[in-house]
Amino acid sequence: MTPELRDVSRLRFQETAPPALTVALRTERDRRWAEAVRANPTLFDGPVAALTGLEHDGADGLLVSWTPLTYRFRVLRGLPDAPALAGLFAAVLQPCDEGRLLVGRMSPTTSAPGRWQLPGGTLEPPGGGAALDLDLLRLHAARELAEETGSDTPADALVPGPVVRDTRGSLGFLFTEPPCPARELQQRYEELARAEIEAGVNPEFDRVALIGSPAELRALPGPSASYLELVAERFFGA
C-alpha cells in the first residue's frame, strides 16, 4: 500500500482475540521463524501488539483494534490465507535547535539492518491489566528514544502528532520532542553507543544523522522506512 500520514484528534483502542491459524499455517510460521533465527540469532520472539482493524471515529478520530501476538507472526506476511495483520509502533521526531531532524540507521543485528528511521519501536501489549491508550504510547515512545539515542526526555514532554501507515500497513503514532542543541544530541548518542559497546551490546542505531530537508534524507546511504519521506516533507514544509 501507499504510505499515508493523517492528523487525528482522538484515538480509541479495543482489544480483539488473536487470529485462529490452521495447522498448516502454524507449521509454516514456525518453520519460517526458525529459518529467520538461523540467519539472525539475535531475533527474539517477544510480545507485540498487532493491528487487526482501523475505523474512522467521527471526522478526525480513529478506532484502533489490536491483539497480543509475538514477533514470529510477522513471517506470515504475504502468505495465502494468512490473517491480515500489521504492526503498531511509536516514533519520535527529535528536532535540533538548527531546525534539523534526527534519524538513525538500524544496526546489522536488528530486524531491519541498514534502514534509516525515526527513534521508536514496535508496541508491546500492556501488562498488569493496563489499557492501551495515548499515555502508554507516550511512555513507550520516551523509552525507545532513550534506548536508541540516549535522550532523558520525560514522557510528558512528548507532544502527540499525526499517525502514519507504511507500505506494509503498520500503523505508527508520532510524537515530537522539544528542540535540543545539535551538539548535545550527538553527544548523547555517542555516550550511549560507547557504553553499550563496552558492555558487549550492539547499539540499535549504528549511526545517527541530522537531516535538513527531504533531499538530505534521500541522499543518506541505504534505505529508509517507507513512511519517513512523508514525515520529512511535513516536518520541513515541503
| Closest C-alpha to 96, from 163, 186, 157 | 186
| Span 141-156, average pLDDT | 94
Cell of 136: 502508554
| Span 224-231, average pLDDT | 96
What confidence tier does 105 reach under pLDDT thresholds 50, 70, 90? very high
- Ranges 29-38, 83-92, 124-133: which has the least confidence: 124-133
This prediction has a pTM of 0.92
Cα atoms in the 13 Å half-sphere on the side-chain side of 104: 29
Percentage of residues of the chain with pLDDT beyond 70: 100
Domains (range + CATH), the chain: 4-235 (3.90.79.10)
pLDDT digits (tens, 9 = 90+) for 54-93: 998 888 899 999 999 999 998 888 888 888 889 999 999 9
How far is Cα of residue 8 from the mean position of the Cα atoms in its chain?
A: 18
In what side-by-side order are the strands of the sheet with 116-117? 116-117, 101-106, 205-211
pLDDT digits (tens, 9 = 90+) for 174-215: 999 999 999 999 999 999 999 999 999 999 999 999 999 999
